[in-house]
Amino acid sequence: MRRLLRLLKIFWVSFRYGLDELFLGHERVRALRGLVKFLLFWRTLEGTRGARLRMALEDLGPIFVKFGQVLSTRRDLLPQDIADELAKLQDRVPPFPSAQAIATLEKVYGKPVSEVFAEFDPEPVASASVAQVHFARLPDGREVAVKILRPMIEEVIVKDLALLEVAAGLVETLWAEGKRLKPREIIAQFDRILHDELDLMREAANASQLRRNFLNSPLLVVPEVFWDWCATEVMVMERMRGIPISQIDAIRAQGTSIPLIARTGVEIFFTQVFRDGFFHADMHPGNILVGPDSRYIALDFGIVGTLSDFDKDYLAQNFLAFFRRDYRRVAEAHIESGWAPKDTAIDQFESAIRAVCEPIFDKPLKEISFGKVLLRLFQTSQRFNIEIQPQLVLLQKTLLNIEGLGRQLDPDLDLWKTALPFLERWMSEQAGWRGLMRGVRQEAPRWAKMLPQFPRLLHEHLTVERKSSLDDLLARFAGEQRRQHRLLLLIAVLLATLLSWEIYRVLA
């Protein structure tokens, strides 16, 4: 019943703000315009179409606001008036009453706000879909930003997610390509992301991890978290001062090079993805400031993504192959990863990828429509039964944000030339001589700890009764059954360990 009521509200809000006009603009449904106007003769619409769309998304709640935030970065796909209005969703969502914010703080701390903070500004400085931010001062004088969760927000999210799950089931049932796209898995991941955002202690941990990754970095500044004042519904962090990255004229006026920060944004993204495997996954302009020293300042850490070593290696190989126009390697990487069927006709797959990607090279960012490129790649994946990987959905979303941000900062940015040296260096460190040496350094201490045990194991094997097999000894040593190992393997490991330890000793 609740799902039905929520669905009715979505339809009601859509009609109230005239969103049906966006749908009726399509050629295939033009014939319905007259009928809809006749049935809705009583409706009076005020404001532009962009303003009405923004207000409708605000009325529908956090999931729809986040959808609008992502759309606002795609100015190559949206009309200018709609993109400008949706940009207001990034940090200007209507706030909830200050009295509710103070009530939340007093519930969390168990005492009046005046006894927790030396100063607390009841007027919010920023309001987003899930929480809002107030400035305050700690008893020791440090200036902080206090993020407070919206009251009753979880109930709204649960209802919307239930509708999305129903929609995902319909997609899988009614659309031939539905199962390949794995909509249920994607919605499940979206569910986890949203519920993670509802726990501000988790967000504080994300901020702390990102700060540690970029401590003393010339690229990015992350605010310090003050853990003694944090809870599930409240996060307190260092107050940061900077210019919103969307205010390009103000950034230029402080002496910062716009092309420089455009390139810095690309480097920050690739550093997070390939060096750390941990990345800020909500990098829309409302979450980024530029400091007086031209460094990025990151805000809002509710959504982060992680990548396994397998994912990083796959992505790096694909990026490098794309940048080098080695489309056969791209096709091979998809098959090797198991994301494309093993019986895929690699020559045809290579040719299809070339047809999509070749036209976009040697062009500045302003002349490339990644929306169209992604659409053509999507169509190509349909032809070759490529599976959509849910674990990379966040990365795809972040790439769209990065592209939209780069387009606003410097339309002439050459994304390929900016990213290629970084990827080549990373691949060299992972797969080249440096990677080998780092692997030896990492593993040698563990092998050195195991080394003294090998003579005892070898002696036991030579002296035990015949019925006692080496499998039993290795099982006791390793803690698990490894019946495929034999004495020759033990001797080989011993020799390899001695050699590796000697290399480590020389390098150290």
CB of 311 within 8 A of CB of 318? Answer: no
Q: Would you put residue 45 in left (φ > 0), alpha (ψ -120 to 50) or beta? A: beta
Average pLDDT over residues 257-285: 87
Sequence letter at residue 31: A
Average pLDDT over residues 236-240: 97
For the chain, domain boundaries = 2-90, 154-193, 244-431, 433-507
Average pLDDT over residues 197-221: 94
At residue 89 the predicted structure's pLDDT band, cuts being 50, 70 and 90, is confident
Handedness of CA 496, 498, 503, 505 (dihedral sign): positive
Q: What is the pLDDT of residue 46?
A: 77
Whether the predicted pLDDT of 214 surpasses 60: yes
Q: What is the pLDDT of residue 482?
A: 47
CB of 118 within 8 A of CB of 205? Answer: no
Average pLDDT over residues 446-475: 60
Q: What is the mean pLDDT of the chain?
A: 77
Bigger pLDDT: 116 vs 12: 116
Burial degree of 54 (CB within 10 A; 0-12, 13-18, 19+): buried
Q: What is the pLDDT of residue 485?
A: 46
Q: What is the pLDDT of residue 251?
A: 94
CA atoms within 13 A on the CB side of 313: 11
Q: What is the pLDDT of residue 165?
A: 76
List 160, 282, 300, 311, catalytic entry:
282
Average pLDDT over residues 180-207: 80
Express as a percent the part of the chain with pLDDT over 70: 66
- The C-alpha torsion from 245 through 247 and 253 to 255, rounded to 10°, is 10
User: In the annotation, is 196 catalytic?
Assistant: no
Q: Which of 27-31, 248-252, 363-367 has the lowest mean pLDDT?
A: 27-31
At residue 97 the predicted structure's pLDDT band, cuts being 50, 70 and 90, is very high
Average pLDDT over residues 322-332: 83
Q: What is the pLDDT of residue 148?
A: 97
Of 268-282, 315-329, 381-395, 475-489, where does the model show the most confidence? 268-282
Q: In Å, how far from its chain's centre is CA 286?
A: 15
Q: What is the pLDDT of residue 293?
A: 92
* Cα distance between residue 398 and residue 191, in whole Å: 17
Bigger pLDDT: 76 vs 59: 59
Q: What is the pLDDT of residue 57?
A: 85
Q: What is the pLDDT of residue 368?
A: 64
Bigger pLDDT: 229 vs 507: 229
Express as a percent the part of the chain with pLDDT over 90: 25
Q: What is the pLDDT of residue 182?
A: 66
Average pLDDT over residues 25-30: 55
Whether the predicted pLDDT of 450 surpasses 90: no
At residue 24 the predicted structure's pLDDT band, cuts being 50, 70 and 90, is low
Q: What is the pLDDT of residue 79?
A: 75
* Cα distance between residue 222 and residue 237, in whole Å: 10
Whether the predicted pLDDT of 418 surpasses 80: no
Q: What is the pLDDT of residue 232?
A: 94
Bigger pLDDT: 443 vs 149: 149
Of 228-237, 361-370, 408-417, 432-441, where does the model show the most confidence? 228-237
Average pLDDT over residues 259-273: 88
Average pLDDT over residues 194-211: 91
Tell me the pTM: 0.71
